[in-house]
Amino acid sequence: MIMAIKNEYLKSVYEELVARAPWETEFHQAVEEVFISLEPIIENHPEYQQAGIMERIVEPERIICFRVPWVDDSGKVRVNRGYRVQFNSAIGPYKGGLRFHPSVNLSVMKFLGFEQIFKNSLTGLPMGGGKGGCDFDPKGKSDAEVMRFCQSFMTELEKHIGADTDVPAGDIGVGAREIGFLYGQYKRLRNEHTGVLTGKKVGAGGSLARTEATGFGLCYFTERVLGSIGESFKGKRVVVSGSGNVATYACCKATELGGKVVAMCDSNGYIVDENGIDYKVIQEIKEVKRDRIKTYVDYVPTAQYFEGCKGIWTVPCDVALPCATQNEVQGDDAEILIKNGLKCICEGANMPCSPEAVHAVQSAGVAFGPAKAANAGGVATSGLEMSQNSMRLSWTFEEVDDRLKKIMDGIFESCQSAAERAGQPGNLLVGANVAGFLKVADAMLWQGIAY
């Protein structure tokens, strides 16, 4: 049976949150998971309850919701809805990506912003939590349409962000092209070249290794998780879901570390390549051609394509790296993975495993790396991009990659020791939530109840 919140204080905060907006299901899922992990902390620290830390931490400091009108190539006026959730600035300026996808709504924005608070805290860098996006779908749009949309989106967002206030980045549907259009419009409106967005082009304020950072960081973290059970990537069969930014560079690094990535997908279907997927082909299909993953078989005729992305979890593997979207691994998928010999699952996407899936893998003794720790390499490297922008310096690829690896090692170690302190050794989910929370809660206590 899945765990539920037992502590009376946490339960009452959670129930009030659900009663206020029962439809925000993704947000509630993220909050419930964190609250369950924090029970021993709340019981031992009455000062958090006295200062209303939990009531405050689940309420965004500010939510901006705005109209995004733009004109398509046929001259028709289109209107989308944009968001920026400035969730928590206790330890630094708000920081978190922008997602452009038809499924974006306030619940998704709030779940992502809430997760970001703890993730950013875990990196050890001074960054608060935020997230934004729009229900716009860049898929199938021309470059000119994407540009007009981004310019309209930034025309409003510009009023609320800044290098010392709120620094957005990419996420689903927001890659190098979109960041370029957004940055261009910001610069035009403000007449300043600052570190207001991360994921910028290298040579125009961007950091080397930012593109690779989330996928690489995920694999550095996974290698540590595997190490904790006496294993490594060497010789392992790996399944990576998705074929976007995170998935592509996870495939690259997992292969470099000795694993064999046998399956990847997009939202239409999945490919299986028993010889090991070549990430350069995925790069060509996704980043250059903006095409579908089924075309992989045109480049590698020995590979197979299957319709429907859910089937990817039936491909036997030792290591699973879900890198597509929230709740993509359900309880039944986890059961199949376990039956097929899964040893380790680390989350590249945000909240890709449902509570039932997390419960199934943890109960089966499968090593589990939670998203807020495992995929923190992206935002950590965004933090390094902000540092380089402030110093007007550019570090080499090796320098950034080396710092990223050290940050991922540090995150793994702080999750491990927080789990031990919480009386649940080896439970990295509890460790990540506790370690991420304490720093933010103490900063909130220190700053009083002004916000």
Q: Residue 38 or residue 309: which is nearer to ligand NDP going by CB? A: 309
CA 156 to chain centre: 24
Distance CA 211, CA 233 (A): 22
Which of 104, 117, 225, 349 is in the footprint of ligand NDP by CB under 6 A? 349
User: Which residues in 291-310 contact ligand NDP (CB under 6 A)?
Assistant: 309
Least CB distance to ligand NDP at residue 249 (A): 9
Residue 281 touches ligand NDP, criterion: CB under 6 A:
no
Which of 80, 120, 185, 325 is in the footprint of ligand NDP by CB under 6 A? 325
Least CB distance to ligand NDP at residue 53 (A): 26
Residue 116 touches ligand NDP, criterion: CB under 6 A:
no
- Residues near 21 by Cβ (< 8 Å), separated by ≥ 6? 27, 107
Residue 324 touches ligand NDP, criterion: CB under 6 A:
yes
Question: Do 47 and 35 touch, CB atoms closer than 8 A?
Answer: no
Residue 350 touches ligand NDP, criterion: CB under 6 A:
yes
Least CB distance to ligand NDP at residue 450 (A): 30
Residue 85 touches ligand NDP, criterion: CB under 6 A:
no
Which of 205, 378, 383, 431 is in the footprint of ligand NDP by CB under 6 A? 378
Residue 383 touches ligand NDP, criterion: CB under 6 A:
no
Least CB distance to ligand NDP at residue 153 (A): 16
Which of 242, 259, 370, 383 is in the footprint of ligand NDP by CB under 6 A? 242
* Residue located via tokens 């082009």: 201
Give the interface segment with ligand NDP, choosing from 32-40, 322-330, 428-436, 442-450 (CB under 6 A). Answer: 322-330
Question: Do 81 and 89 touch, CB atoms closer than 8 A?
Answer: no
User: Which residues in 162-181 contact ligand NDP (CB under 6 A)?
Assistant: 170-173, 175
Least CB distance to ligand NDP at residue 350 (A): 4
CA 275 to chain centre: 29
Q: Is 289 a catalytic residue?
A: no
Residue 416 touches ligand NDP, criterion: CB under 6 A:
no
Q: Which of 95, 110, 131, 286 is catalytic?
A: 131
Residue 107 touches ligand NDP, criterion: CB under 6 A:
no
Give the interface segment with ligand NDP, choosing from 5-13, 44-52, 238-246, 402-410 (CB under 6 A). Answer: 238-246
The total of other beta-carbon atoms located within 10 Å of residue 177's CB is: 17
Q: Residue 53 or residue 132: which is nearer to ligand NDP going by CB? A: 132
| Residues noted as catalytic | 131
Q: Which residues bind ligand NDP (CB under 6 A)?
A: 170-173, 175, 214, 242-247, 266-268, 309, 323-325, 328, 348-350, 375, 378
